[in-house]
Structure 1
């Protein structure tokens, strides 16, 4: 199962996410659920660091990604993180046996 955790501040601002696991819905390299999550996560991470220019903590390896921004950058990334969260919630609704979205207050 893919676990997607969104880091939220007490005021509700999103300040990052962590994704881990595999959906198990197909063979490696042919799993459309993993591909959808991975593509959206990398697009979000690249937009944060390369387009918006935030000095973010980013770590990625097979089956894992972490993106965490400083609280002062939350406003700059608000729309991007909201869109990514909406995308992940839609995937969770469609593939509830393969994806779990949760929230961690930081």
Structure 2
């Protein structure tokens, strides 16, 4: 099971964490894991390249874990860009979850 936790300060995304493996197919052929990885790493890479900020990124050595936190000192313009990109990521993850809910959960936590 893949667990996605979105950490929020009010409506703002402060961080997110993705952990686990879907187990929806054999290793190397797990479409849910591949989709979640592509969506999350694509969003992180988009923020890094388009916003030119340093995200706090922690990854597990054997895969299956990603924690990303936004720096607290972003100006309003950059905050808006990052929020939009990560909101897009969440929409894509929810789309995956709507088809494969037995393999992925998404929860919001207030911080």
Same fold (TM over 0.5): yes
Q: Deviating runs (4+, > 6 A) in structure 1?
A: none
1:25-104 matches, cutoff 5 A: 25-61=24-60, 62-73=63-74, 74-104=79-109
CA distance in 2, matches of 1:72, 1:87: 27
Gaps in structure 2 of 5+ consecutive residues: none
Aligned length in residues: 105
Query: Given the two structures, how large is their TM-score scaled by the length of structure 1?
Result: 0.91
**Native 8 Å contact 1:48 1:54 kept in 2:** yes
Aligned-pair CA distance for 1:5: 0.6
Residues of 2 paired with 1:88 and 1:36: CA distance?
Answer: 8
User: Over the residues paired in the alignment, what is the CA RMSD in angstroms?
Assistant: 1.3
Structure 1 stretches lacking a partner, 5+ long: none
**Does the aligned pair in 2 maintain the 1:45–1:58 contact within 8 Å?**
no
After superposing the two structures, state which structure 1 stretch, 68-77 or 50-59, moved more: 68-77
Please report the TM-score for the alignment, with normalisation by the length of structure 2.
0.87
Q: Larger Cα Rg: Structure 1 or Structure 2?
A: 2
> Offset at 1:16?
2.2
The Cα shift of 1:63 comes to 0.4
Rounded Cα–Cα distance in structure 1 between residues aligned with 2:47 and 2:56: 10
